[in-house]
């Protein structure tokens, strides 16, 4: 089973309206449409403008987070239906910055994953260990637990469409990347867990991206690993050239 790689840019809280739309336009003009699937995750306030640039193109866009409720008294939050209303196909859920900076629990992340599918979005469920957890030999236990709670509320049919992103916390924004072997080992463990939980067929369909200081210089080696099905890119996704070089490396 060949999985189509997904290379995604998580723009985090960066750019302004003009730079966000220019970046989207640059990616659109510089990409061929074949090879890896491309998605971008702009800040909420620029989603509409970016969506207008990318509409009727093969490039997808999505939210960096969402609330699990469809509407209500949740000041400052954004719902899944609001994202689909803007043409979003994906939503990042459980990014390590949400878990560690904003205190989101694995249980809350699971509710968001279920709500994303409910809204017609494909969640990109992020998992990853801290450096202390890795040093203590707890990596598998940590990512399995995040995955288990993440998928707790979804059906096997929904699980087939899920995207998982393995992002070791110690590799995010630090310039330090997991080696291709370190990443592949965790990706294979995650696919093994998914095989036990669902089936070999389902696990073979689920794309598992790697994220954490992915750059043009290390992308090809990482993406050549059997169980690495794309990249979730932060810093290097903010420039057209470096992002497209990573997309090209996914061939
Ligand atoms: P960097 O590529 O900047 O390390 O960020 C990775 C990330 O968090 C993507 O979601």
pLDDT at 46 over 80: yes
Please return the burial class of 36, using the count of CB atoms within 10 Å of its CB with bins 0-12, 13-18 and 19+: buried
Ligand 1 mean position, distance from CA 94 (Å): 13
pLDDT in tens, 65-119: 999 999 999 999 999 999 999 999 999 999 999 999 999 999 999 999 999 999 9
Ligand 1 mean position, distance from CA 236 (Å): 8
Provide mean pLDDT across the span 25-33: 94
Provide mean pLDDT across the span 245-250: 97
> Which of 37, 67, 95, 129 is flagged as catalytic?
95
For 29-38, 74-83, 143-152, 197-206, which range has the lowest pLDDT when averaged over its residues? Answer: 29-38
pLDDT at 1 over 80: no
Tell me how far apart the alpha carbons of residues 162 and 151 are, in angstroms, rounded to a whole number: 9
pLDDT at site 34:
86
Does residue 104's CB lie within 6 angstroms of at least one atom of ligand 1?
no
Structural domains of the chain, ranges and CATH numbers in brackets: 28-89+104-158+165-214+221-231 (3.20.20.70)
Ligand 1 mean position, distance from CA 206 (Å): 21
Contact 151, 162 (CB under 8 A): yes
> Which of 37, 97, 104, 167 is flagged as catalytic?
167
Provide mean pLDDT across the span 125-137: 97
Contact 51, 17 (CB under 8 A): no
Residue 132 among the catalytic residues? no
176 pLDDT tier (thresholds 50, 70, 90) = confident
C-alpha atoms less than 13 angstroms from C-alpha of 101 in its C-beta half-sphere: 5
Contact 92, 10 (CB under 8 A): yes
- Residues paired with residue 163 on neighbouring β-strands, in sequence order: 124, 207
pLDDT at 166 over 90: yes
Collapsing DSSP states into helix, strand and coil, what is residue 241?
A: helix
pLDDT at 243 over 90: yes
207 pLDDT tier (thresholds 50, 70, 90) = very high
Cβ atoms < 10 Å from Cβ of 160: 16
Cα of first residue to Cα of last residue in the chain, in angstroms, is: 16
What's the predicted TM-score (pTM) here? 0.98
pLDDT at site 175:
85
Tell me how far apart the alpha carbons of residues 37 and 5 are, in angstroms, rounded to a whole number: 6
The gap from C-alpha 205 to its chain's centroid, in whole angstroms, comes to: 16
Provide mean pLDDT across the span 5-15: 98
What are φ and ψ of residue 220, in 5° steps? -60, -45
Contact 184, 205 (CB under 8 A): no
């Amino acid at each position: 089973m060949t999985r189509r790689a997904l290379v995604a840019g998580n723009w985090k809280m960066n750019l302004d309206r003009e730079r966000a739309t220019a970046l989207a336009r640059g990616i659109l003009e510089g990409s061929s449409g074949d090879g890896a699937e491309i998605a971008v995750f702009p800040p909420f306030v620029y989603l509409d403008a970016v969506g207008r640039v990318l509409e009727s193109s093969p490039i997808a866009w999505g939210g960096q987070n969402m609330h699990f409720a469809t509407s209500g008294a949740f000041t400052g939050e954004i719902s899944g239906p609001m994202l689909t209303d803007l043409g979003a196909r994906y939503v990042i859920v459980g990014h390590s910055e949400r878990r560690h900076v904003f205190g989101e629990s694995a249980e809350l992340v699971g509710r968001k994953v279920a709500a994303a599918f409910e809204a017609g979005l494909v969640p990109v469920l992020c998992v990853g260990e801290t450096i202390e957890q890795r040093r203590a030999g707890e990596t598998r236990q940590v990512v399995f637990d995040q995955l288990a709670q993440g998928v707790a509320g979804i059906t096997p049919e929904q699980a087939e469409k899920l995207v998982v992103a393995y992002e070791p916390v110690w590799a995010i924004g630090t310039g330090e990347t997991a080696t291709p072997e370190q990443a592949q080992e965790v990706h294979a463990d995650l696919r093994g867990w998914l095989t036990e939980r669902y089936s070999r067929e389902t696990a073979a369909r689920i794309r598992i991206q790697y994220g954490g200081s992915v750059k043009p210089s290390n992308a090809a080696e990482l993406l050549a690993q059997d169980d690495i099905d794309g990249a979730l890119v932060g810093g290097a996704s903010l420039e057209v050239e470096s992002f497209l070089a990573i997309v090209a490396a996914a061939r």
